[in-house]
Structure 1
Amino acid sequence: METTYNYEEVTSNNSQELDLLAIPNTDLWLSNIQHTFQGICSAPIPVFSGSLKGDSALNVGAAPLKWDDGALHEVYVPMGLATEIRNTVRFADGRLPHEEEVEACMVIVHMILARDGSNLDGEYKDFGKTIPAKIFNRLLGKLSRRTTGAQLATAKQLIDALELAGIIKVDRSYCPGEYSYSYSITEDLQKRARVHVPLKEADGYRMWSRQQMFNELSSALLWSYPHYTLPDLVQVKAIAVQLDANKIMRKGKRCVYALTNKSKRAMEYWVARRANDRHSVRILDEDIEQYQRMLKSGLPVPHDSALCPRVTDGFNRMASWIRELILIDGEVTCELDFNGLHPHMLYGLFKEELPMNEREYFENVLNATGDIHSGVAAELIRLGIAKDLRKKGKITSMAIADVRGYVKKEHLAYFNRRSASMNNKEIHQVYKRMPEFMALVKKTKLGYNGHKGTSKLLFALEVDLMTEIIRRFYAAGIHFIYVYDALVVAQSRVAEAASIMNAVAADLGLLTRVKQSQSLPSAFAA
């Protein structure tokens, strides 16, 4: 018997929402709910106890890939920066910087400029790049002069001296839990070509603390690594030529894949194009260079960040088109991820506190087909909001596929926004029909971390979900590549892996199920 849902039952109730938001002790509440998905627990994965020195168990061609020691050994900075620091930087007492302090200043500039994931804890905003002070202190605080043993200037003293010398600019706007100081380099330095400069500090500059390296996820990754076969540079460059020629569709999006072959003029053209639409231009030279650096400097040890429980390694930071060339157990791979994981996690978390009409709206309308992106898209069309999206140029047609593409993109960030910003988004016209659900979502933004409390909560839930899945992969002998909320497995293990992922989601009360990506784009065929 078909259920007819009464849309008029669900309406916005601002007074009810405000009452829910007024619940005290938000931080305690967040702390209590962020591990809701730890309710089930398969046998834990043994902590990795092997060696992480010298060569790893991975080969590229016939050559072994060594381990990266987790330290920064070279910087990518404007040409002539070291000379500029020596000539212009002075400390408060008037003294010149020691050579070790010149090097530390170069590390700071590198961190401000780094956009390749080498600084895991930074975040960009309009002025520049926000970097918490504890990240600078972690990198620079324990260094001492090699020659005399005297203590180097502190990170704060180095930053102040760089600012006074006109090398960097600092925005000291600060709000606990909202944003930290942000940094940028001056316009003159921005115009200079950049070069890789090796660092002299023997131990390098530590990018994360050793205590953050070993947990179940990282141990399982170290168990999987020996079963990967990595492409060599010849293979990677051959695929880059195909991508550049075909401009193929990838993951439902048309993207220009540009190979400049080191042409300065071509690079400037594509960088300018990407500045206007960063989602539709991919400069392949940058991806190849990043892969080349990993082959040279070594395989990063998987680790979590000081600010995020997600585990980062060399493969989830890798360009997806290169990652897709990796074989697992000698086989082509397939990526598995959940449909609309974040809205489903929030709904699963708060479901028991919601009235029946809101549950019915989510389950029988938004998720009626098992695809929440399509469900929200259908509601945008039904409510007439899709017409406004088309007028604004945010979608190209009223077809459900086009509207779904817009919704999928919005779902990536919608719940992580500030409350006022959420209210201004078109999909809010759909979600505001679940006022108690939205009140609970907005309550996650009222703790010490502000609106970032939502993303911290989602990441914690996501990591617990993926940890349980990977425990079952480990028990079943399924090797994998971890890409945050997705897992890549060998083609022959796809059905078994998807079944495990769906079983874990069901055990945790989530309605989402796995959707399967194709193994390799046709342009990659041999």
Structure 2
Amino acid sequence: MQNKKMSMKSIKSLEYGLIPINQIQPILSNINTNINQLDSIKLNNRLNNKSNNQYLYIINNQSPFINDVVIYNEVIDKESLDITRDAECFDDNITTDICTQFPLFFINRNIIKIPTKIESVIRKYTPRKLLKEIHPDIDVAVELCLLFTTQLTSTYFERLDEPEKMGWKSLHAEYLRDFLSIDPMAYKNVRTALEHPTKRGAIIECDYKPIKGEKNFHYRFGEAYIGKGIVSYHLQTKEAQRLLNKHYIRVSGKSQSNPIVQNLIQFYEDVSLPTIDQIWEEGDRLIKLKYKTKKGKLLKKLGHHSREYFKDQQELSFVEDSIKIFKYLTEDGLMYPDVGTEKSGGRIVDSFTLMPSWIRQMIKIKDKFNVEADYSCLHPNSAISLYGGSKEYLTHNDLALAMSTDISVIKVEHLSFFNKKERQMKASPLYDYYEKNEPKMLQNIIDEKCASEFKHKITSRRLMAKEVEIMTKVVEILNQELIYVGYVYDALICHPNDANRVKEVMDSIILKQGVKTSAKLSSENNPIVVRLKDSKSDLDNKESINSDDEVDDNYIKVEAKLINFNDRIRSMVLEKINNGNEVVFEHAIIEFPNKYKFKDRVLRIYDEINPELIYVIESHIFNPLVG
């Protein structure tokens, strides 16, 4: 009897919108037991009451749409909670400066992302008989089909980034059964309806090739539907809304106790996003600098051209595509951070991890451009630690010098090297280096791939799990000091004032974990670089001078646009200094286009990759975060 009273008390609190997120999961089963005792109409009225919404701590709706879903083991009771409320499609006006406090609430939670025109295709060309097998109400059946397609929406953006990909995505049967739990056979009936050939081919395809313990069925959109854009759709039927809301609760429930997720919820409150106009401007600036993404792709604009206009389109990353991804991740609110499965080592995915990195660098924290602190060569150094290697503090630059290879090639190869099969590893340019310098480590990795039930993927599972373990400990310490940070796998983004402390904690934790590497602070948002973007940036720690001041003849004048902030160059200069080579810095006046000037010392260099950048400044070499 006491348990029953507690359950009803919990339901009453939910009715008034007062359940904190950290109390949702424990009461779910009790809510389902007593749900018939709750007046659903009264509940909906309460949730529609704006005066109560300020207490609703439940998180918004974005997380399910772009995350990879592989094996999902958590199942909640089969009853759906009827806690829906009518919500119009808000226009958040993405072209204004958006403060992201709204992710702390269910915003537009009945909106899903689907391929363009897919709703009308289902209604016009899918036989009513197939739709009736899904649900007697045709409108409900159509919306269940649309819900299924949301699980493949991410493949649209994957193909924008890598056109050579075929668009397949693994979806576990148990996950789909829970997602469309209106009936045990619902997901199969939906699949049959979506596979029905239309005038332009089937909406989805399934490979029907499971491999026990290794591979689920893989799905993809039909060729006519995968590349036509993504639109927002507002679910109209109560049945579809119930399923979606149940899914949100399940996602938030499994994530809410995660320390990194708890940290991110706090972090979002201080974040503001760039406007679309600002992103276009930054894209133009980076194109002039011949900017390349972390995958080595050159940033370009499509303009009025089709993709086929560019002969080397696979080597390019288009600004237009990046903006589409940004809108997808932010226009209806931020994603709720989602904790991955063991396959991904428990990595957390949110709007910022999936955002193009050059746009992520534009995010402001309390009105200041963020600084990113990331571990240098984390996975290679973790592999050395886990698999009996001998080297310490390995860097991409070390490999580039030893292999006489451009560092960008090394970085791209390291993204996938440890996740490859043995024969694929041997085809990589990295293999010879590791065979010569880390033979024991390499052999241990290969032996494990052959023996493990997860086969070649065991290595990346272990490396990502180690990464998450390290980052979790770092975040927990920072949070104790009331420092909240953004999370991007092996990197953290933070306010400039917190950057040195973040790096300090990261360096301390990584050594305690037995991995010999260190964190480095990004140069992209170094205040000197920010000065080029925003003439109002602070350079309080630099000795600024007025344009009318007389300058000693011993100072040379250097235009700011000629300064090289590349980490590769910084590493090479430090290496020369550490090896005892003479490196002479000259006194200089750094001049900006807006006539702002400051004093520093510079070293003249030659960089084959960026020959127009002919100086490095001393303050950046010895302290990459200036100011």
Give the corresponding residue for 1:282.
317
Give the corresponding residue for 2:608.
none
Distance in 2, Cα, partners of 1:469 & 1:64: 24
Which of 109, 113, 119 lines up with 2:149 in the alignment? 109
Give the corresponding residue for 1:179.
215
CA contact (8 A) 2:59 2:252 kept: no
Which of 351, 362, 367 lines up with 1:314 in the alignment? 351
Q: CA deviation at 1:85?
A: 5.0
CA contact (8 A) 2:177 2:184 kept: no
- 1:372 paired to 2:367: no
SS state at 1:451 partner: helix
| Partner deviation per Cα, 1:413-471 (whole Å, 9 max, x = no partner) | 11111122112222212222444322321344333322222222112111100011112
**1:474–1:187 distance in 2 versus 1, CA, 3 Å:** closer
**1:242–1:89 distance in 2 versus 1, CA, 3 Å:** farther
SS state at 1:112 partner: coil
CA contact (8 A) 1:336 1:515 kept: yes
Q: CA deviation at 1:345?
A: 0.9
**1:240–1:156 distance in 2 versus 1, CA, 3 Å:** same
Q: CA deviation at 1:304?
A: 0.5
* Mean CA deviation greater in 125-134 or 476-485: 125-134
SS state at 1:75 partner: strand
Could you list the runs of 5+ residues in structure 1 that have no partner in the other structure? 1-46, 119-123, 144-150, 352-357, 364-369, 381-399
Q: CA deviation at 1:190?
A: 4.8
SS state at 1:511 partner: coil
- 1:404 paired to 2:390: no
SS state at 1:173 partner: coil
Give the corresponding residue for 1:29.
none
Distance in 2, Cα, partners of 1:336 & 1:159: 44
CA contact (8 A) 2:293 2:299 kept: no
Q: CA deviation at 1:171?
A: 1.1
- 1:506 paired to 2:511: yes
Within 5 A, what are the aligned runs for 1:32-51?
51=56
CA contact (8 A) 1:242 1:524 kept: no
**1:154–1:84 distance in 2 versus 1, CA, 3 Å:** closer
Distance in 2, Cα, partners of 1:102 & 1:249: 42
Q: Which amino acid counterpart does residue 408 of structure 2 have in structure 1?
A: G
Distance in 2, Cα, partners of 1:250 & 1:519: 13
* Mean CA deviation greater in 105-114 or 84-93: 84-93
**1:181–1:84 distance in 2 versus 1, CA, 3 Å:** same
CA contact (8 A) 1:69 1:301 kept: no
CA contact (8 A) 2:373 2:520 kept: yes
SS state at 1:76 partner: strand
**1:85–1:171 distance in 2 versus 1, CA, 3 Å:** farther
**1:191–1:224 distance in 2 versus 1, CA, 3 Å:** closer
Distance in 1, Cα, partners of 2:423 & 2:295: 30
Q: CA deviation at 1:115?
A: 3.2
Distance in 1, Cα, partners of 2:173 & 2:184: 17
**1:272–1:444 distance in 2 versus 1, CA, 3 Å:** farther
Which of 153, 163, 169 lines up with 1:129 in the alignment? 169
Within 5 A, what are the aligned runs for 1:28-67?
51-53=56-58, 61=97, 65-67=101-103
SS state at 2:114 partner: strand
Give the corresponding residue for 1:79.
117
**1:187–1:325 distance in 2 versus 1, CA, 3 Å:** closer
- Of the two structures, which has the highest relative contact order with CA contacts closer than 8 Å and spacing of 6 or more? 1
CA contact (8 A) 1:328 1:479 kept: no
Percent identity of equivalent pairs: 21
SS state at 2:192 partner: helix
Could you list the runs of 5+ residues in structure 2 that have no partner in the other structure? 1-20, 24-54, 62-91, 159-163, 536-627
**1:96–1:418 distance in 2 versus 1, CA, 3 Å:** closer
**1:194–1:514 distance in 2 versus 1, CA, 3 Å:** closer
Which of 327, 330, 337 lines up with 1:302 in the alignment? 337
Q: Which amino acid counterpart does residue 439 of structure 1 have in structure 2?
A: Q
Give the corresponding residue for 2:422.
419
- 1:256 paired to 2:299: yes
Quote the RMSD (CA, aligned, Å): 3.7
Give the corresponding residue for 2:252.
210
| Partner deviation per Cα, 1:204-234 (whole Å, 9 max, x = no partner) | 6336633322111111112222222333444
* Mean CA deviation greater in 331-340 or 443-452: 443-452
User: What is the aligned length?
Assistant: 426
**1:191–1:324 distance in 2 versus 1, CA, 3 Å:** closer
Distance in 2, Cα, partners of 1:72 & 1:447: 42
Q: Which amino acid counterpart does residue 327 of structure 1 have in structure 2?
A: K
**1:478–1:65 distance in 2 versus 1, CA, 3 Å:** closer
Q: Which amino acid counterpart does residue 212 of structure 1 have in structure 2?
A: K
Q: CA deviation at 1:485?
A: 0.7
- 1:517 paired to 2:552: no
Q: Which amino acid counterpart does residue 155 of structure 1 have in structure 2?
A: Y
Distance in 2, Cα, partners of 1:438 & 1:156: 44
Q: Which amino acid counterpart does residue 510 of structure 1 have in structure 2?
A: V
| Partner deviation per Cα, 1:156-191 (whole Å, 9 max, x = no partner) | 222133224433222122223433222233344457
Which of 198, 221, 228 lines up with 2:234 in the alignment? 198
CA contact (8 A) 2:170 2:215 kept: yes
Q: Which amino acid counterpart does residue 224 of structure 1 have in structure 2?
A: F
Distance in 2, Cα, partners of 1:95 & 1:136: 17
SS state at 2:487 partner: strand
Give the corresponding residue for 1:42.
none
SS state at 2:493 partner: strand
Distance in 2, Cα, partners of 1:292 & 1:193: 12
Q: CA deviation at 1:518?
A: 0.9
Distance in 2, Cα, partners of 1:54 & 1:405: 39
**1:189–1:314 distance in 2 versus 1, CA, 3 Å:** closer
- 1:88 paired to 2:120: no
Q: CA deviation at 1:194?
A: 5.5
Q: CA deviation at 1:322?
A: 2.3
Which of 153, 156, 159 lines up with 2:191 in the alignment? 159
**1:103–1:428 distance in 2 versus 1, CA, 3 Å:** same
Q: CA deviation at 1:252?
A: 10
Q: Which amino acid counterpart does residue 458 of structure 2 have in structure 1?
A: G
* Mean CA deviation greater in 287-296 or 320-329: 287-296
Distance in 1, Cα, partners of 2:349 & 2:230: 26
**1:273–1:464 distance in 2 versus 1, CA, 3 Å:** farther
| Partner deviation per Cα, 1:95-146 (whole Å, 9 max, x = no partner) | 586322222222333433433779xxxxx964733333233223212x3xxx
CA contact (8 A) 2:254 2:339 kept: yes
**1:211–1:72 distance in 2 versus 1, CA, 3 Å:** same
Q: Which amino acid counterpart does residue 202 of structure 1 have in structure 2?
A: Q
Distance in 2, Cα, partners of 1:524 & 1:494: 20
SS state at 2:452 partner: coil
Q: CA deviation at 1:508?
A: 1.4
SS state at 1:315 partner: helix
